[in-house]
Amino acid sequence: MVYDIIIVGAGPAGLTAAIYACRAEKKVLVLEKATFGGQITSSPCVENYPGFVKMSGNEFADKLLEQAMGLGTEIEMAEALSLENKGETRLVHTDRGDFEARAVILATGARHRPLGIENEEKFVGRGISYCAVCDGAFYRGKDILMIGGGNSALQETVLLSDMCHSVTVVQNLAFLTGEPRLIRKIEEKENVRVILSHVVEALEGDTDLRRVIIRHAETGEKQTLVTDGMFVCIGQMPENEGFASSVEVNEAGYITAGEDCLTKDEAVFVAGDCRTKRVRQITTATADGSIAAVAACRYLDK
């Protein structure tokens, strides 16, 4: 079968694109390798989406998926590996076979950025986690570290502070970069302390993480923190590895595209966190999804 549009990724950008494309009466397939809704499903509380005072990331994702499928979107659980230009169509190679369409929207999103230091992989699941919503309950009553000082790190710190004995935030800069509202929240928490201008130097332990050595970013002075666990929240990495030969990507791996969501291939469009942009939020992801879908439909209808 040749679809009108294949969308790679079922996050807010991809599912919004599916909704718009299906409403334009296109035959749409969404390929997703892991979780419907993308990273937003890890957020316990979404308070910045217009029209909704408060909801969980899972609630938001469920509503998007229900709406997309209700309009006729087909879903295939498969990991997209690469893209091939077949002239009139594009072939998406996946771990579960090939899928063909006249146009493709890449909405692959981004993943948690690791520290990239020795022993990190060894301790993943044994003291190191990248998702407080997923793993926070395992550390109830424990003393843990949060690496990072942005919005996501501070939001997860607030969540963890309600279940852990203590949370120590380690930030590489001399200040926290999260929203003032979140900074005020953690300042009000008696069981939260913040260590600024420090980076993680080393990870120690036998089978589980037990000690984290941090280093002052300017003086180089080191100190050892004894901990029951560590959450890493230091940003994102795009999931574009398989498409670098089909579309243009920058040094960080993000697909080069402007607000029009167009790529160098006239039949390939991009939406969401995987493209070059200044603001990566749910609102900008859904906006991209609608723009990319409209652009794809115009391409097909010309």
- Per the annotation, the verdict on 131 as an active-site residue is yes
Q: What is the dihedral of CA 64, 70, 75, 80, to 10 degrees?
A: -40
d(CA 83, CA 268): 10
Beta strands in 143-191 (DSSP E): 143-147, 166-170
d(CA 20, CA 290): 6
Q: Quickly list DSSP for 231-247.
A: EE---EEES-GGGTTTS
Closest CA to 234 of 144, 114, 121, 111: 114
138 touches 229 (CB < 8 A): yes
**CB atoms inside a 10 Å sphere around CB 83:** 21
- Per the annotation, the verdict on 261 as an active-site residue is no
- Per the annotation, the verdict on 135 as an active-site residue is yes
Q: Give me the catalytic one of 95, 134, 162, 260.
A: 134
The amino acid sitting at 89 is T
d(CA 191, CA 114): 26
Q: Which region, left, alpha or beta, applies to residue 114 given φ > 0 means left and ψ of -120 to 50 means alpha?
A: beta
User: Is beta strand 28-32 parallel, antiparallel or unpaired with respect to 229-232?
Assistant: unpaired
Active site residues: 131, 134-135
